[in-house]
Chains A and B, each alone.
Chain A
Amino acid sequence: MRENDVILQTVSKIAVFIILTFGVYLFLAGHHHPGGGFIGGLTLSSAFVLLYLSFDVETVNAGIPLDYRKLAATGVLISVCTGMGSLLFGSAFLSQTFAYFNLPLFGKTELATVVLFEAGVALGVIGVVVTIITSISGEV
């Protein structure tokens, strides 16, 4: 994609992990704090974009063997299917529910079905954004 740039590559190796961690945090925090599926997904995909910017496409694809189009499709499928899931329990399409559990190590924890939905959203966003960027830059 571009000629080797040692400084950029070294920095991004570290930065990518920070961004990835931050992205996952944002995704999980979304229920009670700023964050959520969209932002998490966008942040995670920006980490991938950074990788593509600093290394060439082949290297990244070898390191992360993911088909982003399938990832996007999976995400959309998950979002739609969690909606269907609520139908099984006799409630309206896409109704979410939540409950509190006492888990070892975490103590009282809230688990919500919306996480599954948001996970679908996040995967969809990552898949689409990376697909767009790589398909355009693949044209160079």
Chain B
Amino acid sequence: MSGHAGEPFAKLPVEPKPPLRRFHQARWDEPIIFEQSRPGRRGISVPAAGVPAVELPGSVRRAEPPRLPEMGQLQVLRHYVRLSQENLGVDNAIAVGQGTCTMKYSPKINDRFVSDPKVAELHPLQPEDTVQGTLEIYWQLERILTEVSGMHRVSLQPGSGSAAIYANVAMIRAYHASRGEGRQRDQVITTMFSHPSNAACAKTAGYEIITLMPDADGYPDIEALRAAAGPRTAALLITNPEDTGIFNPRIAEFVDIVHRAGGLACYDQANANGLLGITRAADAGFDLCHFNLHKTFSTPHACGGPAAGACGVSEALAPFLPGPTVEFDGERYYLDADRPQSVGKIRPFIGVTPNVVRAYAWAMTLGAEGLREVAEIAVLNNNYLMHKVLQIPGASAPWDRRRVEQVRYSWQELSEETGVHSEEIGIRAADFGVHYWTSHHPYVVPEPFTLEPTEAYSQEDLDEYAAILAHVADEARRDPDFVKGAPYNQTVHKTDQTWLDDPKSWAVSWRAYVRKHLS
């Protein structure tokens, strides 16, 4: 406080605030909603309609009512508000700690658009004439994404980034099959630091995976690619910048090597947030690419529910795009399902419309210059944060290279000195109300942590985040057992994650939990 307004307060015996937030997570011990259900409770009492009931055939009738929780409105509202308070996310924390996930702010105005009945009450089977505006948004967003990527066409059908990668792999398979080389080309090449969904999707589609390991400079070994590429190569699936944040300057050579072997080159653009308006997939010679609309284009992350992915292809691959495609004849928009070479549907209907609307609104509010500015600020923020983090004794960024939009750092030095591991530093950091993540499996960088500040965070946010890390690193030196005992200010202490590794135990739904653990 300054000036006259502050003077009366200056005399009050108020201690100055400590440099770090005195955060404490709300803790409600909230049971899950199914456990709160009581027979007969209702949120809304619906009066009898007064019209005769329609006799449904037995084959479509439920034998028993769905086992939905039965609760009052207040109890439902309170339940979800409490859960939201037990959470850390972009809306209440500095969420720069989930590198590779591009946790940027999703502007609330875009949520108002999608909660408008014009979007919220759409039915996927409505006649085309009644959804001309929606189809126009699909069409226009496709134009934006073809411009950003340089590709010929883009499909918005995939419901997630990995679904978009899978769609790309399906197109690669269909392309080679159409040339009589489907059986012969049974290998997909990827890199250690590419997003793991590349290997996973290609393997799911039946391909054998060859991984290129990083060389001593941190780039994927180009000589290994030369040795691996051949008549069995279907495609190279590569992320650039990789999850280290290092941009591969020889990417066009990688594409050339694969093309000369008769394979296709597919660009995983999960890390596109630092590239918008700066580089384009098509300019490096790629045949296919994808975007995660929930990363780069600010729509919500899905966590298993529908997010949105987009796959872009060259003209040669366009006939294989998933469908139906959205077309425009100059007067009206329509769906084209008559595409004999299409790989078909990656998910039902034409896409996750609310997310397509959000991404379109986001891109339109920014404009072309704004999109480039997003990338510039994301890169600037990342390099600012890197500068701050590397001043913390014990923190390092393996490979002395400039980074684009994220960095995979290492606490190796601190960990060897103190015995405190990266996960433990992250758990302690949560005591100050921030989120932190280590690395994809396997841990190639020792004691890893991956930060991606995006364009959404202010300089003060980044300063605060770096100060928290510096504080925890200092605690680790002075009192390692204290850091290992964290968290102290969180909802839960430590959770046993071994369930996640065991198909017999894991349960991602209440039904599965009841089946595996209660019956």
Answer yes or no: do A and B interact. no
B interface residues, Cβ below 8 angstroms from A: none
A residues near B (Cβ < 8 Å) are none
